[in-house]
Amino acid sequence: MKLVKLAIVMSLFLTGCKESAQNKSTAVPDKEERPATPKDLTTDAFSNVETIPLPFMDSTNFENFKESKKLTDSEIDILKLKTINQDAANFFIRYKVPFSNTFRSVVVTYQLGEFELVTMLINYDTGYHIIDKLDIAYDEIAESQLRKQSLLEKNSIKVEDINWFEETSAKETVIYEISPEGKIIARK
């Protein structure tokens, strides 16, 4: 009789341990406990980001910059923005560009110290790996002698670098094409 009672108790004990182990392995942590993933970024950071119509002139500078969605540290990591410039700070996602359905084009603005503001177009594959990138707007207010602005069109980007170091301003223009794979290539 003692053996039967012992067998029943052991059976109940082992069944309880098995159920406890199953509950622990299937428990899903709260969203706040998980680090951000590219899927989270797609639904969170990009869902409310405006897609601009083309053609579009980006002349972002300190006078006209309006802070948009400031990226979190986990979003900065996913988008690999610190690999672009280690000294960059205060990343803001600005808008999406409808260049293609096979890759994502996102415009981000960030600061370099107190006196420089950089706006960059970044093409990502679907896994958020950087395909290519291009500075499309720039402003510095220490000496106020350099500025960049760009005209984004369906298959090209016209970048104007403006330099006021000389007595008269100097303007250099380069036109870039966007390949079907997302590469940004200067026209010759």
pLDDT of residue 17: 46
Q: Please write the tens of the pLDDT for every residue from 105-149.
A: 999 999 998 999 999 999 999 888 999 999 999 999 887 788 999
Look at residue 7 and give its three-state secondary structure: helix
Question: Distance between CA atoms of 55 and 159, rounded to whole angstroms?
Answer: 13
Q: Is 105 exposed, middle or buried (0-12, 13-18, 19+ CB in 10 A)?
A: buried
Q: What is the pTM of this model?
A: 0.74
Residue 134 sits at φ, ψ, to 5 deg, of: -155, 130
pLDDT of residue 46: 67
Collect the ranges in the chain with pLDDT lower than 50.
Answer: 1-14, 17-36, 40-44
Question: Distance between CA atoms of 156 and 136, rounded to whole angstroms?
Answer: 12
Question: Distance between CA atoms of 46 and 63, rounded to whole angstroms?
Answer: 25
pLDDT of residue 64: 93
pLDDT of residue 6: 41
Q: By the 8 A CB rule, do 160 and 166 touch?
A: no
DSSP state of 171: E
Residue 39 sits at φ, ψ, to 5 deg, of: -65, -45
pLDDT of residue 84: 87
